[in-house]
Every structure is written in C-alpha cells, then in structure tokens.
Structure 1
Amino acid sequence: MFNLKEILSVALILFSVIDVVGSLPIIIDLRRKTGKIESEKATLVSGLLMVLFLYAGESLLKLFGVDVSSFAVAGALIIFLLGLEMILGRNIFKEEVHTGSASIVPIAFPLIAGAGTMTTIISLKAEYATPNILSGILLNLILIYVVLKSSAWIETRLGPGGTSILRKIFGIILLAISIKLFKSNF
C-alpha cells in the first residue's frame, strides 16, 4: 500500500503548490506586523483542512455533479497559473487582506491550505493512493512547522535574492506538474 516513490512525488507536488519557502516574504512580513506567528496552531489547522478535503472533497464534488478527472484538469489549470505567478512575479489571483490572528488567517488558510492546495489534493487522488497522499501531507506539515518556527533565521540566511530564485524554481516545477496532470486526466 505504501509506496515510497508515490509518497515522495506527492510530497514534492504539495511542497511546490504550498510553496512555504516562496511564501517566506509574506510570513516574515506578518511576523513583523503581529509580533509572532503561532507555528503549532498554523500547522495543525492547515493539516486538518488538507486531511478533511482529502476525505470529503470528492463527496463535495459529487454533490455538484463534477467527476475527479474534470476537477483534476481544472486543478491543473490553477496549478499552471500559480506556476506562472511564481515565475513572472505577477499576481493572477486576488489576495485578500484579513485582520486578526495571522496564524490561522492568512497563514493556515489560504496561504498554506488554500485553493491551490485543495485542488491539488483532489487532483492527486486521481493518481495516487490515499495513504501515500496522507504521508505526503504529513511530510509537508513537518516542513511547514520547521519553516514557520525558523522564519527569522531563514530570512537572514536566504536574503531577498535567494528567496526569489527558490520561488522561480518551484514555479517551473509547478508548470511541469500541471502539464502532467492535464495530460493524464484529459
């Protein structure tokens, strides 16, 4: 049932979509504005949202009369646009500004477990076994926690240039992933 290759593929895909490293400038800015980010709370809430969508997302689609393959193609298009955003440095999707606790909104949702992540999780169900997707989610949650907890340290090490380069690399990976998802579900 558990397949290491699938787990690593899922983990890499989710890592690229969640893009916690590419979101570091936003996380650092929020930490400066609010004084602190509750890493544990943000990680737990985003993990709960991802797991709930993994199990209930398909039922929600059926409620609207949409099959997983169609949703996967739609997800591929969203992932493609997210990749373009990362590479071109332009916002295609409108970012909402929220007040209050930065740990839940906007970090846990929509920054980590947002539309792109939810779409990707449903799309992954078309190709990968659920236990492998759960393992990939868990690996990402561990990484998310580490990044959130050490955002100040990472900020000093990467600098603005390093963050920009990582964002562009993961943008290209997302473009390739979106094309693969589109081809396998169209």
Structure 2
Amino acid sequence: MQLNFKEIFTAFMVLFAVIDIIGNIPIVIDLRKKAGHIQSEKASIIAGVILIVFLFLGKSILNLIGIDVNSFAVAGAFILFFIALEMILGITLYKEEEHNAMTATVFPLAFPLIAGPGSLTTLLSLRAEFSTENIIVAVILNVIIIFIVLKTSAKIERILGANGINIIRKVFGVVLLAIAVKLFTHNIKALFDIV
C-alpha cells in the first residue's frame, strides 16, 4: 500500500469543497430544529460507508442501470443548483417533509447532503486520477470533520449568530452554484463529445 500525502491532501480538499459541511451548517441547524435531534455518529458513518461503497461500485452500479458517469454528474449538478438557489435566495423548493431524528439522520443528511450526487461524482473523477487507498484516507478524514461539525453545530450557531449563519449560507450557496455550473458544463461537454 503506497500512501501519497499530496494525493490524499488534494482528494481531501476537493471532497471537502464539494461536501461543503461548513456551508451546510444552516441546513443541519434547520434539520435539528425540525427533527429535534440528529445522530451525528450515525449520519457520519452512513455517509462514509456510502462514499466508500460508491468509490468501488459506483461505475458498475451506473452501468448496470444504463447510466453513464456524465449523465449522473449532470443530474447531480441540477440538484446542487437547486440547493444553492435555496441557500442564496432563502426559499424552499423541496416539499417539506415530517422529519424525525432517524429519517433526518439518514435522509437528507447522510444522503444526499453529505454523500450526494456531487461528492459521488467527484469520487468517480478522483478515481481516474488518484490511487484508491489515498482517496479512502481522504474520505475518512472528511468523515471525521463532518462528525465534528455535526456534533458542534449548535455551538457554531451560538458563536456565529443568526446573521453570521445567513451570511455563510449565502456565500457557500454561491460557491455551491459555481460547483454546480462547473459540474454541468464539464459533463455536458463530455456528453456531447460522446454523442
């Protein structure tokens, strides 16, 4: 097993930007209010398992249902785009569902918020460039940070206050929108090259 710290760091930073757990703090706080409680350990572990399983089986699963990686990425870009619009404009596009602690922990927190189309697509593109063990280490490091952020989100909310959270939400909304546009343009180009 050959660990390369440059690869680990790069993969970690790319995943960290796409997962954007800091930018998702306002969403985590909203979920906590709606559900009453979020199981941070369970959400982090489930998200980590989804990411690692997808790293190994992602391409095969997509091939099995007849979807290529680029189409999956374009779909992911749309979801990220709408989440970003919600964050920037302060509107709700998704139907409000009744959340209890268990469902909120798994959906939408572990999936698709943490292990969403953006991060799953990113894993597939990282796999083309980096060795698998380095990506796994990067995923584990991200899961540890996700756990810390989820565990301390109430404290972070107190420190930043409502205005601070709103500013972060809008700033990260714009970042997420940029990631969505980049994901869309890169993959739509690849789709047209295939056609």
TM-score, structure 2 normalization: 0.72
| Deviation at residue 71 of structure 1 after TM alignment | 2.5
Corresponding letter in the other structure for 2:47: S
**1:49-104 Cα distance to aligned partner (Å, 9 max, x none):** 11112222211110122222333333334333333332222334445433352433
Residues 152 and 52 (structure 1), Cα distance of their counterparts in 2 relative to 1, 3 Å cut? same
Q: Given that residues 18 and 179 in structure 2 are in contact (C-alpha distance below 8 angstroms), is that contact kept between their aligned partners in structure 1? A: no
- State the match for 1:144 in structure 2: 146
| Deviation at residue 128 of structure 1 after TM alignment | 5.3
Percent identity, aligned pairs only, is 53
Deviates more, 1:172-181 or 1:48-57: 172-181
Residues 124 and 164 (structure 1), Cα distance of their counterparts in 2 relative to 1, 3 Å cut? farther
Q: Given that residues 69 and 121 in structure 2 are in contact (C-alpha distance below 8 angstroms), is that contact kept between their aligned partners in structure 1? A: no
Deviates more, 1:71-80 or 1:50-59: 71-80
Paired residues in the alignment total 186
Q: Given that residues 35 and 100 in structure 2 are in contact (C-alpha distance below 8 angstroms), is that contact kept between their aligned partners in structure 1? A: no
Residues 72 and 7 (structure 1), Cα distance of their counterparts in 2 relative to 1, 3 Å cut? farther
Residues 176 and 6 (structure 1), Cα distance of their counterparts in 2 relative to 1, 3 Å cut? farther
Q: Does 1:22 align with 2:23?
A: yes
Partner SS for 1:91: coil
Structure-to-structure mapping, 1:64-83, within 5 angstroms: 64-83=65-84
Residues 38 and 75 (structure 1), Cα distance of their counterparts in 2 relative to 1, 3 Å cut? closer
CA distance in 2, matches of 1:179, 1:2: 32
Q: Given that residues 39 and 105 in structure 2 are in contact (C-alpha distance below 8 angstroms), is that contact kept between their aligned partners in structure 1? A: yes
- Picking from 160, 163, 187, the partner of 1:161 is 163
Corresponding letter in the other structure for 2:149: V
- State the match for 2:110 in structure 1: 108
CA distance in 1, matches of 2:94, 2:34: 23
**1:132-159 Cα distance to aligned partner (Å, 9 max, x none):** 4333322321111111121221111011
Residues 130 and 87 (structure 1), Cα distance of their counterparts in 2 relative to 1, 3 Å cut? farther
- State the match for 2:192 in structure 1: none
- State the match for 1:41 in structure 2: 42
CA distance in 1, matches of 2:79, 2:35: 30
Q: Given that residues 76 and 117 in structure 2 are in contact (C-alpha distance below 8 angstroms), is that contact kept between their aligned partners in structure 1? A: no
- State the match for 1:99 in structure 2: 100
Partner SS for 1:141: helix
CA distance in 1, matches of 2:143, 2:122: 15
CA distance in 2, matches of 1:184, 1:90: 28
Q: Given that residues 50 and 137 in structure 1 are in contact (C-alpha distance below 8 angstroms), is that contact kept between their aligned partners in structure 2? A: yes
CA distance in 2, matches of 1:182, 1:34: 33
| Deviation at residue 47 of structure 1 after TM alignment | 0.7
Q: Given that residues 37 and 101 in structure 2 are in contact (C-alpha distance below 8 angstroms), is that contact kept between their aligned partners in structure 1? A: no
